[in-house]
Structure 1
C-alpha cells in the first residue's frame, strides 16, 4: 500500500509540475500581469497592447459585441475616463484550458477598486499565438 501511495504521489506531482511549467501558460500569465501593470498606471494603450491589433478582435460586454482593436480601445476610454475612472485592477485567474498548440481559453475574475465606486465581474478570453506572441483575440467580460 505504501508503494502505491508513493507512486500515486509521484504521478500527481509530475502532472502538477508539467502544468505549472507549461511555457505557454507562463507567458500568458506574464501577459495578464502586463495588463494589470499598464491599467494600474493609467496606460490604456499599453493595456490594449495585449490584444490582437485587428479588425477581427471580438469584445463582448454588457452592451453587446464590439469588433476591432480601435473600437475596443475607444470603448475602454469612454467607460474608464482618466485615472479616477480606471482605479486599480486585480485579477484572479481561475482556469487555463489549452485548446491547441497556439490557442488557450482563460477564465478569471476581475476587480476594480476606485474612489468613485468599485466594480467586479468575470471574464473569459481566447488567446492565440500570433507571430510568436500571445494575444487576446476574443474577450467576454461581465
Structure 2
C-alpha cells in the first residue's frame, strides 16, 4: 500500500505544477493531477514555491483551505470513479455531473461525502464505512 508523507504529497503536486508549466512530459498520475491543478488557479501561487509549500500550515481554525488535501481528494475521487470502488460511486458521479451540469461540481459534492466518511472514521476509530459513503452520495443525487 502506498502511504506518502505530507511532504511527499506536497512535493508531488509542486513538481507536477512545475513540469506542467514547463511543458515537460508527465506521468499518467501527474497528467490527472495537472488537470485538477488547472481547474484550481487559486493554488498556483502555493504550488509555484515548493520550499514554502513544504513549510505551510493550513489551519482549519483559521479558515484556511489546504490545497494539497483538496487536490489529493480530487485524485482519490478520480480513481474511485475509474474503478467504481466503492461500488456505486461511478453512477453517483454521473448523476451528480448531470444534476449540476459540471463534473467539477460533482467532484466537490462527492468530496463532501468522502470528507465526512473520513472524519467519522477518525472520530470513531472504526474503518471507513463505504456503505454510508454511498448512501450519502445517493442522498445528494436526489
Higher relative contact order (CA 8 A, sep 6+): 1
TM over 0.5: no
> What TM-score does the superposition give when structure 2 sets the normalisation length?
0.28
Larger radius of gyration: 1
Greater strand share, structure number: 1
Identify the structure with the greater helix proportion.
Answer: 2
